[in-house]
Each structure stands twice: as structure tokens, then as C-alpha cells.
A and B are shown apart, each in its own frame.
Chain A
Amino acid sequence: AQSVSQHNHHVILSEAASLELGCNYSYGGTVNLFWYVQYPGQHLQLLLKYFSGDPLVKGIKGFEAEFIKSKFSFNLRKPSVQWSDTAEYFCAVNADPISGTYKYIFGTGTRLKVLA
């Protein structure tokens, strides 16, 4: 069965520190990859996505992610975090989008707390 793993469940950083959140998936076919963010008390919203092309994708608020096919990974990065980045971050995979099953799988989430 397909799965998505986020290795860091809780991350605490000081402002201006660099961030990297890991995401690995288990599926050998074509995938669409996403990172979503959920700010406290709010709904999920898209940070960035990868479908094809340049494996380094840039999203909103200075976030970027790199797709490494050989490692089945899609790690999220930000060079310098801000207090306002405190949120829950979810990696998601749409496994086999071409077939039309639209099977979305979310990781368990990483709670990021940025200290001012």
C-alpha cells in the first residue's frame, strides 16, 4: 500500500534558523507531490507542488522543495524561518494520477514551532 512518511513530528527552531522537513513516499509509479501548511486554527492551504520538470520547486513565503526520484523524497526547505511560520506542515502524494483514481495520501504532519 502507498504511504507517506514525515520523519519529524515536532520541530522547534529559533527565528532565522534554516528548516528542512523530510518526506518520503512509497509508490513506484507517477506521482504528484504537495506540501500543505495549516496555521493554528486554520484550514490547510497549498505551499507548493511538483508534477514534472525541474525537481526544485519554489512555493509561497520563501519555501522550496526538492524532488529526488531515486530516494522517493520530497523534502521541504526554507533558508530562514520566521515566527509566523509556526504551523503544521503536511506532505501529500497523489499516487498514480494518470489512472484517474485521485488517491490522495497525506503524511502524519510535522508541527513546527518557531521561537521569537
Chain B
Amino acid sequence: DTAVSQTPKYLVTQMGNDKSIKCEQNLGHDTMYWYKQDSKKFLKIMFSYNNKELIINETVPNRFSPKSPDKAHLNLHINSLELGDSAVYFCASSIRGDTQYFGPGTRLTVL
């Protein structure tokens, strides 16, 4: 069983479009995260959710919005996609501040 899953794995889209990436964890963790990894492999935390409450919101554009329907899911919605949004997006989960378990990543390409 996959612990943290993301869909889709690859996403190619045009500038200006709106897209969503889904994330699900079956580990029973209480905290979920979204990270952006750029071409230089820098890993930047975007959001985290603990028990359905946003507890970290780094300085990301408000075109990005996390949505958590329940503890097992944290989806990422992106409006008006820009070229600079091209990156690999990783979802992760943990129990509070313990080890993070990462999903396989979603490679987003904005044309």
C-alpha cells in the first residue's frame, strides 16, 4: 500500500489555466504539507495542515490554495498558472513534528 500518494504524477498545462493536485495519506498522520522543489532542488515549504487547520502559510502567492476535506487529504489548487510555477510539488505527512513521509511528487510544467 502506498503511504502518501499524489495525482497526477505529471501535469502539463498552459499559462493562465487553473489546476489541482491531489494528495492522500493512509498513515493516520495528523499533519500534512506541500513543498515546491525547483530545478536546483531547493525545497520550499508552502503549507501545512494540522487537524484541518492551516498552521503554516509561507509567503506563497495567493493563487495557491490548499484544501483539506479531511485529515487524510490535502489538495493543492493553483489559479492562473505562471511559467515560474513549473516545479516538482511534493506532498508529505507526519505525526506532529516527527518524520515526514513524502509522496512521489507531481512534476508541473507550465507552457
Q: Report whether over half of chain B's contact residues are helix, strand or loop; otherwise say mixed.
A: strand
Whether B97 contacts A97 by the Cβ 8 Å rule is yes
Choice from A34, A42, A100, A106 contacting B99 with Cβ under 8 Å = A34
Q: Does B60 contact A (CB under 8 A)?
A: no
Whether B41 contacts A44 by the Cβ 8 Å rule is no
Whether A102 contacts B102 by the Cβ 8 Å rule is no
Q: What residue of chain B has the Cβ atom nearest to residue A103's Cβ?
A: B56
Q: Does A32 contact B (CB under 8 A)?
A: yes
Q: Does B13 contact A (CB under 8 A)?
A: no
Whether B55 contacts A43 by the Cβ 8 Å rule is no
Q: Does A88 contact B (CB under 8 A)?
A: yes
Task: Choose, from B17-25, B42-50, B61-69, the stretch at the interface.
Answer: B42-50
* A residues contacting the other copy or chain, number (CB 8 A): 25
Q: A43-B104, A43-B105, A49-B99 are in contact. Are A101 and B43 (CB under 8 A)?
A: no
* B residues contacting the other copy or chain, number (CB 8 A): 24
Q: Does A63 contact B (CB under 8 A)?
A: no
Report chain A residues within 8 Å CB of B77: none
Whether B48 contacts A102 by the Cβ 8 Å rule is yes
Q: A43-B103, A43-B104 are in contact. Are A100 and B96 (CB under 8 A)?
A: yes
Q: What residue of chain A has the Cβ atom nearest to residue B42's Cβ?
A: A108
How far is B35's CA from A44's CA once the two chains are assembled, in angstroms?
11
Whether A44 contacts B90 by the Cβ 8 Å rule is yes
CB of A82, distance to nearest CB on chain B (Å): 21
Q: Does B70 contact A (CB under 8 A)?
A: no
Report chain B residues within 8 Å CB of A88: 41
Whether B90 contacts A104 by the Cβ 8 Å rule is no
Listed by A's residue number, 19 A-B pairs whose Cβ atoms lie within 8 Å are: A34-B100, A38-B41, A42-B104, A43-B90, A44-B43, A44-B90, A44-B92, A45-B102, A46-B100, A97-B97, A100-B96, A101-B56, A102-B31, A102-B50, A102-B94, A102-B97, A103-B56, A104-B100, A109-B41
**CB-based closest 5 A-B pairs:** A97-B97, A94-B97, A43-B102, A44-B102, A106-B43
